[in-house]
Each structure stands twice: as C-alpha cells, then as structure tokens.
A and B are shown apart, each in its own frame.
Chain A
Amino acid sequence: MPKKQKSSTVRGKGRKQGAIRLDFQKNKAVYFMFLPVVIFYLTFHYYPMSGIILAFKDFKPALGIWGSPFTDEFGFKHFIDFFSSSHAARTITNTILISFYQIIFGFPMPIILAIMLNELRNQKFKKVMQTVTYFPHFISTVVVCGMLTEFCLSDGLFNQISGFFGVEPVSLLSQPKYFRTIYVASGIWQSMGWDSIIYLAAIAGIDTQLYEAASLDGAGRFRKIWHITLPGIKGTIVILFIMQIGKMMSVGSEKILLLYNPSTYSTADVISTYVYRKGLLDQDYSYSTAVNLFNSVINFVLVFLANALSRKLTETSLF
C-alpha cells in the first residue's frame, strides 16, 4: 500500500514539475517581476528565522549566533529549564485563559455590531455610529493604557462610578482578580468597531434579492438575520476565527507590560511578557528564544488544527 502511494505521488510530482516548467517558459516576464517579492521574503522573513538556532545554544554576543556553543542536553537545556520552572505552567495558563476570554467575549462582538449597524435604516446615524465605534482603534496602546491606569486608581473613574452604588474604592490594577477583565474588556472597546468593518463589507456583498424574497415569504428581521445574513458571512467568520485561534498563544506583550505590576503577575504574566523580561531585561537571549519557539510551534499546530477542523465542518478553510 505505501509503495503504491509513493509511485503515484512520484508520477504526480513529475507531471506537476512539467507543468511548472511550461508555465515558467510561458510567463517568464511575470516570474521575473515576482522575483523581488521572493527576495524580500527570503531576506526579511526566512533568513532571520535561522536565528531560531539560538534556542539551542548558549548565546554569547561576542561569538555571534553561529559561533556560540550548543547547550547541554543536546541543545535542549533551555527547554528543560523552562518546563521545570514554576513559570511555565503559570504563563501558559494565563496566556490561554486571556486568549480564551478574548475569543469568547471579544470574537462575537464585531459580528453583532456589524449586524446591528446593517439593520440601521437611518444612513446618517449609521455612519456616525460606525465612526464612533472604530475611533478607539486609532488611539495608541500607550495612551489607552495610560487612560486605563488613571481610571483604575482608587480615586479614578471606575471607582467613582462604583462609589455611587456604595462600593468601597479599590485599586483595580493591583488586584490579580480584576486584571483579565480589564484587559479583555478594554480590548473589546479598542477593536470592536474596527473589526466590524470586514463583516460589514461581507454583509454588503450579500445579494439583496435574497432579503426581498424572504420578506415576500413573510420572514421577520431576526429570521432574515439568521437565515440570510449569518450564512452569507459564514465564510468570513470562519476565516477570522481560524486566524484568531492561530493567535491564541501569542497574547501581545505591549498592553500587558503597560498594565501589569508584580502584584498582578499571578494572572497577568503571559508567555510574551515573560519572554520580554527574560530576553531583554535579563539578557537571557537563548532562553527566551527557546520559550518563544515553543510558543510558535504550539501556535502553528493550533492554526493547523483549526484549519483542518473547519475544512471538515464547514468546507471553508484558509489553506
């Protein structure tokens, strides 16, 4: 059985190769035009990847990446160190949990917003709403975090609001239990409007005749949303969902770095912030490369799985 498969792939390959050669001869100029792109990707995206080898080495700047010696344990010392440290479990859990909440609460938001905007009949109001909701996207993360820090102080905005209801003021950013909520909620506020644009575009692409036909059949608004709008943007939702899953293990460090402090490490310290502290503050380049490599591998596997799953379930997939 394996043998047969092999021969068939070989034959397939041969045919493919012939086709490629023919195509190349035909479209030489086009391939030539494509060359700069290839070079760009090779130099700036693939060549730097060779630096991953750092993860298996004891990096010494003076010796360079290639000259530095490999570590003990066949180069896996840093991985063993990471997994035997107490940080591994915690940073991985925190990363997954924050991503998980982001997906649960953050992912549906732009879809809901887009559908709601689509249902608005007053075009002027719709435009204003759209602008208002995607405005936060243009505020830089540093500014957003500065605002959040102010709002979360014990005499800040949030505490003043809760003070109306007789709640004792608390310093929100110094208590681990509030961190994820603050992080995820502010993330939704920041990106909801902007992310909804792509869904609005998808909705705009739905044939209006479908809606008319549905109205004739006596379908109400919710029926139309459920049976026409949602299926119409299903493909977009799935692809964005795959991409979201792919980012699951890579919760960005910038916003967390700006918001956390040692008292909230227990819920806020994620892989990327740990890598930052280890790599750039403690200058343990090899170790942090190892941790990040582990992270990337998991990410890759996740994208792959999500993609396969969606191909199976919905016949829509990224690759």
Chain B
Amino acid sequence: MQAKKFWAVLLAAILIVSCLSGCSSDGGSNAGDSSTAGTTSQAETGGDSQAVDESDPYAAGDFTYPMDGTVTLSINMTPTAEEELPEWVKGHYFWDVIQEKTGVNLEFIGSASSPQETSEAFSLLLTSGEYPDIMQANWITFKGGPAAAINDGYIIPLNDYTEYFPALTALLEENEEYNKMVSMDDGTWFCFPHLKRDESQIGTGFAIRQDFLDQIGEDVPVTIDDWYNVLTKFKNELNLTAPLTFESRWLFLEYATAGLSSPWGVCYPFYMDGDTVKFGPLEEGYKEFVTEMAKWYSEGLIDRDLAAVDKSTVQSKFASGEAGIALQQIRNIQNCIVANEGDPNYKVTGLNTPVMNEGDEPQMSHYTNTFDGGMATSISTQCENIGAAARFLDYAYTEEGSMFETYGEEGFSWDYVDGVPTFKEIITNNPETPDSQAARYFVSNYQNWSIRVIDAMSHLQPETLEIQKTFFAHMEDYAYPTVTYTDEEVDTVSEWNDIDTTCRERILGFILGNEDLSNWDSFIAEVESMGIQDVLAVRQAAYDRYQAR
C-alpha cells in the first residue's frame, strides 16, 4: 500500500515536472511571439495614426522648432539640480536651454545608465516595467544587444519613423561609415547615436615629469628599453616609490593600456590584425609583455600598490611627485598640472606610445570607437508620442542643433568671429572656474546623443591639448568595431565575462609575482577550456557581418 502510494506520487511528480518543462518551452516561444507582435502592432498603430491624422504636426515638411511646449517627455537622466548650479550658469544650463529650443518639457527620472555598461540603477528601471519615453542606455553592452532590447520590448526600431527625424536620416544616408556603425546587421536603426571624433576617441595616455627627466639628464624615452632605463633611474636616483603608475584595472579595460603593450604588437582584449580578430593573451607577444611587466614590478619600477590604486590615487601620486610616469585620462593630467600651478619646477610632457626598436612607428593607443553605444538614446515602447520624441532627439543633428551641442548657446558662450565660431570669455577665461571646465554646463560633452561640429575639448588648456596630441598612434587600424550579435551568439558572448574574470585575476597575478610565469601555459589552457576559441569565432563572424553591412 505504502509502495503503491509512493509510485503514484512519483508519477504525479514526473507528470508535473514534464508538464512544467513543456510549458516553459511553449511559454518561451509564445513570449517571443507576443513581444514581436507587440512591436509590429505598435508600428501599425503608428502608421495608422499617420494615415488618419492628416495634420500630424511632427511629420509635416514645414515643421519648425520650437514645438508648442505642450509635450512632456520623460528621460532617464540626472542633470545637475537647479539649486546646485552656480549662479552664473542659471538660465543657460544645457538641459534648460535644450528644452527651450525644442519646445519640449523634459521630466528627468534619474536611473541613468553609465556609458560603458548597464548600471545597477538602470537594470532596476528595466525590471520595474515602467520605462521613460526616452531611454538612454548602452544597448550595445546590454545582454543580448539592441536586438534583445527590441525583442524584449524595451525600445522600438526607428526605421518606420524616419519622417520624424529628417536630420539624422540625412546624416546617415550621406555618410556610409556612420550608417554602418549605428545600424544593426539587418539595417535596423535603434538609437539616436552619440558619434565621437578624434579628440574624444583617444583621451587616455602617458605623461612624464619633464623636470625629473632633466634631473637625471635623459631625453623623453622612445623605445621600451629607454623606458626601462628612465624608470630605473627614477627609482635609483630620485628614489621615487612609484616610477610608473596606473590603475591595474586598466590592464583589462578595452585598449586602456594598449599603449604599454604596443611594442609587442598586442593588446587586451580583442583587436584586429588585418581582417582577423585576435585575442591578446593567446599571442606570444602578450606573454613577453607580461614577462617584462613582471620584471618591472619586481624591480620596483611599477607602483607597488598597483592592484590597490584607483584613479584618484594615481592622480595624487603624479601630482605629488611619487610617480614619474602615469597613465591617466587627459582630464586628470590637467588636474595634476593645475594642482601644481605656480611651481616652476613642475613640468609635464606627453609620451608617445613606446616602440620596440628605434625608428619604429608607435602603433597602438587608447581608443574608443566613433560609435560605441555609449550615450545612445532610444525611444521606448511606452512612449505615447513617438513623433514628438523623435523630433526632440533629432534636434541634436540639425545644423543649428549641432552648433548648440558643440558650442552652447550662440551669443552667450560663443559667437562668430570673422565667420569662425569662437568661445567667449565665459568659457575661455572664467574666474569662477579656474580649472576651465566652464563649458561642461553649456555644451553636450559626455552628456547625450549628438554629433558635434568639432570635438572641441573646450575644457582643456592649450598645454594639455599638446600633451593629448602625443597619445595618437594608429589604433584605428587595430580597434575592433562596435558589432551586434545574433540570438544564438549571445550565450557564447556572455561566456566571455567568465574568461575575462579569469584573465584579470591570473594576468595580474603574474605581473605582481603572486604566480610564477612558468604557469603561463596552464593559464592559456584554462582560457582555452573556458571556450575562448568559440568567443573568437563569434567575434569573427560578427566582424564579417559588420563589414558586409
């Protein structure tokens, strides 16, 4: 009797489980169907309303900014609060002016996504189920990419609404390269992109204390051997505790330390060698790079606290004279210079990417793609007034709008001088902000979707701009473009996270001497066993599709 009951229960359990798993696969495909159905039906209603409502104010050819001010759009952004704005900015703050110029009221709901990755706050926003009309996020780094964002029902594809954003459409149609970058493989446009130009693509590099160099009587180092020589002298003759310093995290941020590994022709993680995708650590050169760095570290040429320092420590070490060479963002280099203003001894020179042999060309450097998904802005599925939203976003790409994004308000922050747009005193010589960062309140730098007329690093002093010029090498030949993946590829791509973690841990361990370099082969074997070849294959396929766009 007991046994019988047991079997009955077991059978029932099996039935339930199989039923559930059956349901689950059904549920999956159904859900997919319904969400695609959702987007199409929305697209249809969009189309309908255009057809029915002849007087659609946003589609009309004679549309002009500003709009009538009746529309309110929500956006996940956190601008500086009104009360925190300095007095001289009030009334001219970028986000206030853009509302005025476009005639749209913005409702800021916070939960901004960071440019590199999906932030915690933003993930919570997604799980809440209530999205703002305009969503700013890096859908490229979002799990599953823009395709998932569309299929999961967060954002809408824009191709059906081109009449609402003529400026961006014209820009992309005229410029093949841009179009290739911001489209998905099937040609779908999913966002109003933020397009960078040279000066903001390469913003990180090495700077050296010129006065230290003078003290030891050396020239600016060019080859990697020169570097070794100079760093050794920094340590021995000047007793620097951290001759070379940078954040260890940067070894594994895309191309952040590419300049350092450039002499060996490799960098972390993926880069292009002609039309082939390569993964740095798998290359022989990378092992040599790590070997050299381990040697430098053990000899005290690299900051002992490499693993623990962060951006601000690096900056303070370079400003205080504990470090001789630092790898930093250009803004932080400027901060160091500003902090030592008035000290005639403190002199900083930019450093070119080192080379292996005298006479070689510097090859790699820090680099971000023209379009990397950061600051890209999309229209959400819950947006009720797509026309107004698109018109609002499109403003940034109009002639007037892009001047505004680049220079701020005409007549306030800039004027034409002999036909050339020129910043006024409030930007160039503002006593309120001695660090000459006044422009950040008035132009769109790092803030939003836009293309700028020039990438005026208006907040940099001429001296710092000179340093930045030394960062440039030929990284555009090596950079892996911003691609998108298919549904099947997404799982393989996410395996990369685990591989990345392993690499960070082991490679840093090798450099710090926690692990002996004789274990390098076992490290490579581990990475291979985690499926790096699959990831490479997917990356290659995505690259090939990108080229075929």
What is A's interface to B at a CB cutoff of 8 Å? 2, 57-58, 60-64, 67-72, 74-75, 85-87, 149, 152-155, 169-171, 173-176, 261-266, 277, 280-284
CA distance A85 to B529 in the complex (A): 11
CA distance A65 to B24 in the complex (A): 13
Q: In the A-B complex, list the 8 residue pairs whose CB atoms are closest, starting with the nearest.
A: A70-B24, A174-B307, A69-B28, A154-B304, A62-B152, A262-B504, A62-B153, A69-B27
Q: 0/1 per residue, B1-31, Cβ < 8 Å to A?
A: 0100000000000000100110111011001
Q: List 28 A-B contacts (CB under 8 A).
A: A58-B28, A61-B123, A61-B127, A61-B129, A61-B152, A62-B152, A62-B154, A68-B27, A69-B31, A74-B20, A75-B20, A86-B526, A170-B304, A171-B305, A173-B307, A173-B308, A176-B514, A261-B508, A262-B252, A262-B307, A262-B508, A263-B307, A263-B509, A264-B307, A265-B505, A266-B509, A282-B494, A283-B123
Which chain A positions have C-beta within 8 A of B118? 283
Check A152/B308 contact, CB under 8 A, given A74-B21, A262-B505: yes
Which chain A positions have C-beta within 8 A of B152? 60-63
* B501 close to A154 (CB less than 8 A): no
CB contact between B306 and one of A155, A170, A174 (< 8 Å): that residue: A174
The chain A residue sitting closest to B511, CB to CB, is A263
* A263 close to B514 (CB less than 8 A): yes
CB contact between B24 and one of A71, A175, A280 (< 8 Å): that residue: A71
CA distance A171 to B497 in the complex (A): 27
CA distance A284 to B27 in the complex (A): 20
* B24 close to A69 (CB less than 8 A): yes
Which positions 330-369 of chain B face chain A at CB distance < 8 Å?
none
CB contact between A261 and one of B117, B304, B307 (< 8 Å): that residue: B307
Which among A2, A75, A173, A262 has the highest number of chain B CB atoms within 10 Å?
Answer: A262
B295 within 8 A of A: no
Q: How far is the CB of B323 from chain A (nearest CB, A)?
A: 13
CB contact between B20 and one of A70, A152, A175 (< 8 Å): that residue: A70
Which positions 434-463 of chain B face chain A at CB distance < 8 Å?
none
* B514 close to A262 (CB less than 8 A): no
CA distance A58 to B307 in the complex (A): 36
The chain B residue sitting closest to A159, CB to CB, is B304
The chain A residue sitting closest to B20, CB to CB, is A70
Which among B28, B241, B504 has the highest number of chain A CB atoms within 10 Å?
Answer: B28
* A70 close to B304 (CB less than 8 A): no
* A261 close to B501 (CB less than 8 A): no
CA distance A70 to B25 in the complex (A): 7
Which chain A positions have C-beta within 8 A of B24? 57, 69-71, 75
Which chain B positions have C-beta within 8 A of A71? 24
CA distance A254 to B117 in the complex (A): 21
* B20 close to A280 (CB less than 8 A): no
B329 within 8 A of A: no
CA distance A71 to B28 in the complex (A): 10
The total of Cβ contacts below 8 Å across the A-B interface reads 112
Check A174/B126 contact, CB under 8 A, given A266-B505, A282-B494: no
B182 within 8 A of A: no
* B304 close to A169 (CB less than 8 A): yes
B288 within 8 A of A: no
* A263 close to B31 (CB less than 8 A): no
CA distance A169 to B129 in the complex (A): 52
The chain A residue sitting closest to B513, CB to CB, is A175
The chain B residue sitting closest to A71, CB to CB, is B24
CA distance A150 to B445 in the complex (A): 34
Given A60-B31, A61-B123, A70-B21, list of 9 further CB < 8 A pairs? A2-B2, A61-B126, A62-B153, A69-B31, A74-B21, A75-B20, A86-B502, A175-B512, A176-B509
CB contact between B27 and one of A67, A75, A173, A175 (< 8 Å): that residue: A67
CA distance A62 to B31 in the complex (A): 10
B428 within 8 A of A: no
Which positions 252-277 of chain B face chain A at CB distance < 8 Å?
252
Which chain A positions have C-beta within 8 A of B248? 261-263
Q: 0/1 per residue, B448-487, Cβ < 8 Å to A?
A: 0000000000000000000000000000000000000000
Q: How far is the CB of B90 from chain A (nearest CB, A)?
A: 34
Q: How far is the CB of A317 from chain B (nearest CB, A)?
A: 32
* A283 close to B143 (CB less than 8 A): yes
B35 within 8 A of A: yes
CA distance A70 to B308 in the complex (A): 41
CA distance A61 to B494 in the complex (A): 17
Q: How far is the CB of A64 from chain B (nearest CB, A)?
A: 7
Which chain B positions have C-beta within 8 A of A284? 143, 494
Which positions 50-98 of chain B face chain A at CB distance < 8 Å?
none
The chain B residue sitting closest to A274, CB to CB, is B501
The chain A residue sitting closest to B2, CB to CB, is A2
Check A282/B497 contact, CB under 8 A, given A62-B153, A174-B308: yes
Q: How far is the CB of B303 from chain A (nearest CB, A)?
A: 8
Which chain A positions have C-beta within 8 A of B384? none
Q: How far is the CB of B130 from chain A (nearest CB, A)?
A: 11
Check A265/B501 contact, CB under 8 A, given A62-B152, A154-B304, A171-B308: yes
B214 within 8 A of A: no
* B494 close to A70 (CB less than 8 A): no
Which among A62, A64, A176 has the highest number of chain B CB atoms within 10 Å?
Answer: A62
B173 within 8 A of A: no
* A263 close to B512 (CB less than 8 A): yes
* B35 close to A262 (CB less than 8 A): no
The chain A residue sitting closest to B23, CB to CB, is A70
Q: How far is the CB of A145 from chain B (nearest CB, A)?
A: 11
CB contact between A175 and one of B504, B505, B514 (< 8 Å): that residue: B514
CA distance A281 to B25 in the complex (A): 27
CA distance A74 to B118 in the complex (A): 30
B120 within 8 A of A: yes
The chain A residue sitting closest to B304, CB to CB, is A154
The chain A residue sitting closest to B322, CB to CB, is A155
Which chain B positions have C-beta within 8 A of A86? 502, 526
Which chain A positions have C-beta within 8 A of B27? 67-70
Which chain A positions have C-beta within 8 A of B100? none
* A171 close to B23 (CB less than 8 A): no
B498 within 8 A of A: yes
CB contact between B307 and one of A171, A277, A280, A283 (< 8 Å): that residue: A171
CA distance A60 to B153 in the complex (A): 10
CA distance A145 to B22 in the complex (A): 49
Which chain B positions have C-beta within 8 A of A282? 143, 494, 497
CA distance A103 to B305 in the complex (A): 31
CA distance A2 to B31 in the complex (A): 48
Which chain B positions have C-beta within 8 A of A67? 27, 31
CA distance A26 to B407 in the complex (A): 79
CA distance A72 to B27 in the complex (A): 13
The chain A residue sitting closest to B128, CB to CB, is A61
* A85 close to B498 (CB less than 8 A): yes
CA distance A173 to B313 in the complex (A): 15
The chain A residue sitting closest to B25, CB to CB, is A69
* A74 close to B17 (CB less than 8 A): yes
CA distance A262 to B268 in the complex (A): 16
Which chain B positions have C-beta within 8 A of A152? 308
Check A280/B120 contact, CB under 8 A, given A74-B17, A75-B24: yes
Q: How far is the CB of A300 from chain B (nearest CB, A)?
A: 22
Which chain B positions have C-beta within 8 A of A175? 512, 514
Which chain B positions have C-beta within 8 A of A64? 129
CA distance A264 to B126 in the complex (A): 33
Which chain A positions have C-beta within 8 A of B25? 69
CA distance A152 to B313 in the complex (A): 14
Which chain A positions have C-beta within 8 A of B494? 282, 284
Q: How far is the CB of A89 from chain B (nearest CB, A)?
A: 14
Q: How far is the CB of B491 from chain A (nearest CB, A)?
A: 11
Which positions 89-148 of chain B face chain A at CB distance < 8 Å?
117-118, 120, 123, 126-127, 129, 143
